[in-house]
Amino acid sequence: MRRTIGALLALAVCLALGQGTTYSQSAGPPLGTWKFNAAKSKMNLSLPPRNLTRTYEDRGGGVYIYTQQGNGPDGKSVFSMYVARDDGKEYPMFVRGRNEMGTISIKPTDAYTAEQIEKVGTATTTAKRELSRDGKTLTITVYPAASAARMAGTVVKETNLMVFDRQ
């Protein structure tokens, strides 16, 4: 795992030094630390995690490091990490638990919302990340695998609506 994390951090340095997409802070990731709020969340695809904390850390030039850690519904430790920009391009992502590398792409749709596609193994998952206007709540709507078309406005009941509070 150290080798994987080291590779992701090296990618961050390359992204920060290289030529890239212009970055707008208002359309970027919700920087800071966020804690999962089970009472506000609605989990229809899976059981809720016991606890979960995600962090978005600014590295300059539009590059940020994302980490998520906690305990799944079964109590087992969960961890994921990526170094990316919100520019629609694919970036490497590590998911412990499955001990797999995957990719993630994130594309802002406005100053508060971004769409993301995660590919790990044979599964492709789409999600929408929304920051509340007051900046205190982060909502991640996770759609069933291979349902990108559903993000285009179709109402889908079988989603996970994960709510995180700013810490």
Cα angle vertex 145, ends 139, 149, to 5°?
A: 80
The four Cα atoms 118, 131, 84, 12 give a dihedral, to 10 degrees, of -140
Q: Are strands 123-131 and 113-120 parallel, antiparallel or unpaired?
A: antiparallel
Cα four-point dihedral sign 86, 78, 142, 36: negative
| Cβ(35)–Cβ(42) below 8 Å | no
CA-based R_g, the chain, Å: 15
**pLDDT tens-digit profile of 24-44?**
444 579 999 999 999 999 998
Please state the rounded mean pLDDT for residues 83-110.
92
- CA 144 from chain centre, in angstroms, equals 15
Contact 134, 127 (CB under 8 A): no
pLDDT digits (tens, 9 = 90+) for 41-75: 999 888 999 999 999 999 999 999 999 999 999 99
pLDDT of 149 higher than 50: no
Superfamily for domain range 2-166: Calycin beta-barrel core domain (2.40.128.20)
Quick one: what percent of the chain has pLDDT higher than 70? 74
pTM of the model: 0.78
Supply 121's token pair: 């193994």
